Amino acid sequence: MNLLEDETPPVEPAPKPARDGTLFEGDSGSLPLDARRALCQLLSGPSLDQGRHGQLWSAVLRYETQLRSQLNDLFLELVLDRDAGVAFTRQADTGELETPVLLRSSPLTFIDSVLLLYLRQQLAEADAQGHRAVVEESVLVDALSVYEKNLSTDRAGFNKRVATSIAKMKDNHVLEKLRGSEDRYEVSPALKLLFSAEDVQNLAQIYRQLREADEAMEEVADER
């Protein structure tokens, strides 16, 4: 035997779908491969967007009707914004009908809510000027610092909460790191679908009242 001969077995090509459309033994699904991949991404979340998932985005547009039907079977609905290039799923409003909840959710802390509001405002301002919404991590920390006293914690504890909240936004792709930068991020257009202009106005009013109440308490304390 030639000792120089490569004994590594050849790599087998990926199996192609059968002519009848099935992808594996026992497959009774009706969607093609790209549509199924898009469906999986929508279900695993948090979103599917044209920038990060170009091929899957094309599949969503091509098979939108079928994907909506598949999601509706699970008491979910497809939220799709072609202009923003973003799609995600959310629980359907089934009224008083008892239905299972499949989507994972995590409660928002006070800082999470304030940060989302700030990012949504940055997105609105960027849209009005016709450019991408880009933020720096240090600017986010400064923007949230006005709420430090609402949490009744020390500076170190507050900074830790802010860092945790920013990390959560990164993990959920609300903030996408820009290439070649360590602390600059683009705000996901999906926020436009999660928070309407009316939602932003209402939340802004609530947090404005919190700040004003805190400032009023400080003035009283100074007078004493």
Class of domain 110-223: mainly alpha
Phi/psi-derived region of residue 85, left when phi > 0, alpha when psi is between -120 and 50, beta in every other case: left
* Second-level CATH architecture of 11-104: Alpha-Beta Complex (3.90)
Minimum mean pLDDT range among 8-22, 106-120, 133-147, 164-178: 8-22
Contacts of 183 (CB under 8 A, 6+ apart): 136, 137, 138
pTM of the full structure: 0.66
Instruction: Return the beta strands (E) in the chain as ranges.
Output: 48-49, 76-81, 86-91, 134-136, 175-177, 184-187
Q: pLDDT band at residue 20, thresholds of 50, 70 and 90?
A: low
Query: What tens digit of pLDDT does each residue of 42-100 get?
Result: 998 778 888 788 899 999 999 999 999 999 999 999 999 898 888 988 888 888 888 88
**Omega prior to 10 cis, within 30 of 0:** no
Q: Where are the domains of the chain?
A: 11-104, 110-223
What is the mean predicted confidence (pLDDT) over 127-149? 86
Percent of the chain with pLDDT over 90: 22
